[in-house]
């Protein structure tokens, strides 16, 4: 049973609650999480806190699936209230600008994701840290940039290709605030992140839509997802938008169509100059409707050379190219750095262009093609059925990731979201 995976985010019925209670009492990870989440709240014993944690889960089950609802915040006591956030938003005027730049590093961590943001006065944000085996790549990169402290550390969601290097980062650098969505994974990788957080006596604030993160005075950072709770951990990804002057960047984690739909339907202005393409260019993300609303000039794809998932997919590359969006790829171009002076965006490398005929043709169109959200979703739901893995392999479709056409839980024996991987 992999129930623990969604304890923090899922809707829970009464039967499941009893299973979860058992799991909470027996699992090291659960104990660690409770310790970490509540370390800043109280010094009382774990038994009492566990009750509080369960109360929090029940609360989630009963109520709010949107960030607007003012649910009590069990994770962090120093989290600003929604009212305070609103005040911050209206006060934070991005102009006039000081001299200085916001520099965004899309670090090449192979098949995974990691972005370092350095502000005009030198404050830092790190979003994700790639896989476990890339932790030294990330820590070395940060040291080379002169980073001593991460002012905001954001783990978009618990998948190993995002959280793998976070433990080393926490060990190596001073850490300010940590944000993670209310979802966890039953993995050693995630456990070691929680262990490092606990060792340093840090606490985790819940990443959810509606927050405004305090960072640098001239820069506005809004968290625009997750808006609700979702059965797929990818959709629980924290999504943030950074605005500096008239320029903006969108960081999407592995958010997929379900989360994108909610973002599109929310009243948030998604319009951004630079889009970090969701889920490494998987076809389960970057729906037409979402892309129309973001309407970026530049798109960055963080994926590894010849990765087994086939990221980035031609569907997404094609969708970007047809809109005349300039594409940048870690697998083709290594580290990619974008800077903004508040008025314009300056990429460190020239855009990526497909080198073969079979690749995506670049056909800029003057008008965006309007596609309704329902049409965009239909495209994701092709009816493909593989009787078994042999059939999926013969069709060249294996491995199948959750969300891929033809993926079924029955084919995913180890229940890790990837079927027929061997
Ligand atoms: Zn990922």
CA of 282 from ligand 1 middle (Å) equals 9
CA of 156 from ligand 1 middle (Å) equals 9
Token pair 């690749």: residue: 359
CA of 377 from ligand 1 middle (Å) equals 20
CA of 204 from ligand 1 middle (Å) equals 21
CA of 280 from ligand 1 middle (Å) equals 6
Report the C-alpha gap between 167 and 364 in whole angstroms: 42
β strands within 207-266, DSSP E = 212-213, 219-225, 239-244, 247-251
CA of 97 from ligand 1 middle (Å) equals 34
Q: Please say whether the beta carbons of 163 and 186 come within 8 A.
A: no
∠ CA 266-205-46, nearest 5°, is 135
CA of 17 from ligand 1 middle (Å) equals 29
DSSP notation for 80-113: PPHHHHHHHHHH----SPPS--EEEEE---SSS-
Other CB atoms closer than 10 Å to residue 1's CB: what's the count?
Answer: 8
Q: What is the CA radius of gyration of the chain?
A: 21
Q: In the 8-state DSSP scheme, what is residue 352?
A: B
CA of 159 from ligand 1 middle (Å) equals 6
Report the C-alpha gap between 389 and 381 in whole angstroms: 20
CA of 368 from ligand 1 middle (Å) equals 28
Angle subtended by helix axes 257-265 and 373-380, to nearest 10: 180
CA of 241 from ligand 1 middle (Å) equals 18
Report the C-alpha gap between 321 and 302 in whole angstroms: 17
CA of 308 from ligand 1 middle (Å) equals 13
Reference 167, options 141, 142, 130, 115; nearest CA is: 130
CA of 91 from ligand 1 middle (Å) equals 35
CA of 124 from ligand 1 middle (Å) equals 22
DSSP notation for 109-134: -SSS--EEEE-TTS-EEEE----GGG
CA of 83 from ligand 1 middle (Å) equals 33
Other CB atoms closer than 10 Å to residue 300's CB: what's the count?
Answer: 26
CA of 366 from ligand 1 middle (Å) equals 32
Reference 259, options 283, 293, 236; nearest CA is: 236
- What pLDDT sits at residue 415? 73
CA of 360 from ligand 1 middle (Å) equals 23
CA of 163 from ligand 1 middle (Å) equals 9
CA of 271 from ligand 1 middle (Å) equals 23
CATH code at 98-367: 3.60.15.10
| Segments in the chain below pLDDT 70 | 1-99, 356-385, 394-396, 422
CA of 31 from ligand 1 middle (Å) equals 26
CA of 20 from ligand 1 middle (Å) equals 26
- Domain ranges (residues) in the chain: 3-62, 98-367, 382-419
Average model confidence (pLDDT) for the chain? 77
Q: How far is CA 214 from CA 86, 120, 343, in A?
A: 12, 14, 21
- What pLDDT sits at residue 410? 76
- What pLDDT sits at residue 147? 97
Alpha carbons within 13 angstroms on the beta-carbon side of residue 85 total: 18
Reference 185, options 29, 76, 49; nearest CA is: 29
Q: How far is CA 90 from CA 84, 298, 385, in A?
A: 10, 28, 51
Which run of H or of E encompasses 36? Answer: helix 28-38
For 68, residues 6+ apart whose C-beta sits below 8 A from its C-beta are 82, 210
Q: Please say whether the beta carbons of 272 and 296 come within 8 A.
A: yes
Alpha carbons within 13 angstroms on the beta-carbon side of residue 285 total: 27
Beta sheet of 247-251, edge-to-edge order: 212-213, 219-225, 239-244, 247-251, 274-276, 298-301, 326-329
Query: Model pTM?
Result: 0.67
């Amino acid at each position: 049973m992999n129930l623990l995976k969604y304890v923090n985010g899922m809707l829970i019925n009464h039967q499941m609650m009893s299973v979860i209670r058992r799991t909470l009492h027996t699992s090291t990870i659960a104990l660690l999480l409770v310790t970490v989440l509540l370390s800043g709240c109280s010094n009382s014993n774990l038994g009492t806190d566990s009750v509080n944690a369960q109360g929090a889960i029940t609360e989630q089950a009963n109520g709010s699936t949107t960030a607007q609802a003012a649910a009590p915040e069990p994770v962090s006591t120093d989290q600003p209230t929604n009212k305070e956030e609103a005040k911050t938003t209206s006060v934070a005027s991005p102009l006039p600008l000081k001299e200085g730049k916001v520099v965004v590093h899309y670090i090449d961590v192979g098949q995974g994701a990691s972005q370092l943001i350095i502000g005009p006065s030198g404050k830092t944000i790190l979003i994700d840290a790639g896989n476990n085996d890339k932790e030294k790549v990330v820590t070395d990169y940060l040291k080379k940039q002169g980073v001593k402290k991460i002012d905001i550390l954001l783990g978009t969601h618990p998948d190993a290709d995002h959280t793998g290097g976070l433990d080393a980062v926490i060990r190596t650098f001073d850490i300010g605030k940590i944000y993670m969505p209310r979802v966890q994974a039953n993995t050693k990788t995630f456990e070691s992140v929680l262990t490092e957080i606990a060792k340093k006596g840090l606490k985790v604030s819940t990443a959810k839509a509606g927050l405004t993160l305090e960072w640098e005075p001239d820069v506005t950072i809004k968290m625009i997802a997750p808006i609700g709770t979702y059965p797929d951990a990818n959709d629980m990804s924290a999504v943030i938008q950074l605005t500096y002057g008239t320029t903006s960047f969108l960081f999407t984690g592995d958010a997929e169509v379900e989360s994108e739909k909610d973002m599109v339907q929310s009243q948030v202005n998604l319009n951004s100059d630079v889009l970090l393409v969701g889920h490494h260019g998987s076809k389960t993300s970057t729906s037409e409707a979402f892309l129309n609303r973001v309407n970026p000039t530049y798109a960055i794809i963080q994926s590894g050379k010849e990765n087994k998932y086939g990221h980035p997919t031609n569907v997404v590359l094609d969708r970007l190219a047809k809109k005349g969006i300039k594409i940048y790829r870690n697998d083709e171009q290594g580290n990619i750095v974008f800077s903004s002076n508040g008025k314009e965006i300056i990429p460190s490398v020239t855009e990526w262009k497909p080198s073969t005929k079979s690749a995506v043709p670049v056909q800029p169109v003057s008008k965006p093609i309007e596609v309704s959200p329902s049409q965009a979703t239909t495209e994701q739901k092709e009816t493909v059925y593989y009787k078994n893995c042999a059939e999926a392999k013969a069709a060249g479709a294996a491995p199948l990731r959750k969300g891929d056409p033809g993926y079924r839980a029955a084919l995913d024996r180890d229940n890790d979201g990837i079927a027929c991987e061997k």
